[in-house]
Amino acid sequence: MSPLTSPQGAAAELARNAGQWLMGWWRTIHLAALLTVLALSPASYAPENRRAMARHLYLGTTQSLAWFTLLSLLISIVVIRIVLVTAVSYGLSQYALEMVVRVLVLELIPLAAALFAALRCTMPLSAEIATLRSGGGWDALAAQGIDPLRQEVLPRVVAGSFCALMLAAVNSVVTLVVAYLSVYGFTMAGFDAYTHTVGHVFSPAVSIIFLLKILSLGLAVSLMPIASVLDTVARRRANTSAELQGLVRMFLVIVIIEAASLVGNYY
């Protein structure tokens, strides 16, 4: 039996891969800490940095908001109609509205917003960072005394997080309006009952978990793709592209956030 196929060799290879995996996550956490410090630093909001951040915020959000709102509106109408008809057929109409709010607003809208922001905003922004590094622009900025992490990375991470948060916030409101109109129509007669139901769903604990969830999802979809692009150690060792690594890490973090949210809301 060769050393590579022996149990000791397999265990050593497994330990080495696990160590590299943990170090990759540590570098991602370190990058998140650096970006947090830069975001809290007044120097990061000099006029040239403010212009770059405003441009990325505007372009990243406006290119996604209209399309996602339209898609969310269509899906919400279909799902709400299915839930209402099913609840009435089983004699559970009193629970239909609460189910709609829980399923759509608490669970589906934040997740869909994060994924849509990743596809339309954060992954293209991470590709720009990859092009900047491979084309020598990163080193050119550093040679001029400009911190590329502050000028190029921070605005893109902030823009990606803002895009995910804005998509989730706007479409949660749109879904709540559509749910009201689907149940009560164009009248204010059901407003008191509707607000009571929504307030019952969004208890203080659930509201805090919901806020933490959309914030965490926004950070995950904005940070993970760019962190994988900037992780030169992992890119030298890996056989897959940095974009694919970032996608896998992003989905893993999203699953963890969703699981934690479900545990917090229902257990």
pLDDT tens, residue by residue, 92-133: 888 888 999 999 999 999 999 999 999 999 999 998 998 888
Cβ count within 10 A of residue 192: 9
Q: Does residue 175 contact residue 105 with C-beta atoms inside 8 Å?
A: yes
Rounded to the nearest integer, the mean pLDDT of the chain is 87
Side chain identity, residue 234: A
DSSP, residue by residue, 229-267 = HH-HHHHHH-SS-HHHHHHHHHHHHHHHHHHHHHHHHH-
Q: Does residue 246 contact residue 126 with C-beta atoms inside 8 Å?
A: yes
Residue 233's pLDDT is what?
53
Better-predicted residue by pLDDT, 245 or 41: 41
Residues 23-66 pLDDT 10s: 878 888 888 888 888 888 888 888 878 888 899 999 989 989 99
Residue 1's pLDDT is what?
46
CA atoms lying within 13 Å on the CB side of residue 178: 23
pTM: 0.88
Portion of the chain with pLDDT greater than 70, in percent: 93
For residues 162-184, give the mean pLDDT: 94
- Six-digit token pair at 19? 């160590």
What residues contact 114, with CB distance under 8 A and at least 6 apart? 164, 168, 214, 217, 218, 220, 221, 254
pLDDT of 178 above 60: yes
pLDDT of 5 above 60: no
Q: What angle do CA 198, 204, 208 make, to 5 degrees?
A: 105
pLDDT of 18 above 50: yes
Q: Does residue 105 contact residue 79 with C-beta atoms inside 8 Å?
A: no
**What's the CA gap between 34 and 36, in Å, rounded?**
5
Residue 139's pLDDT is what?
87
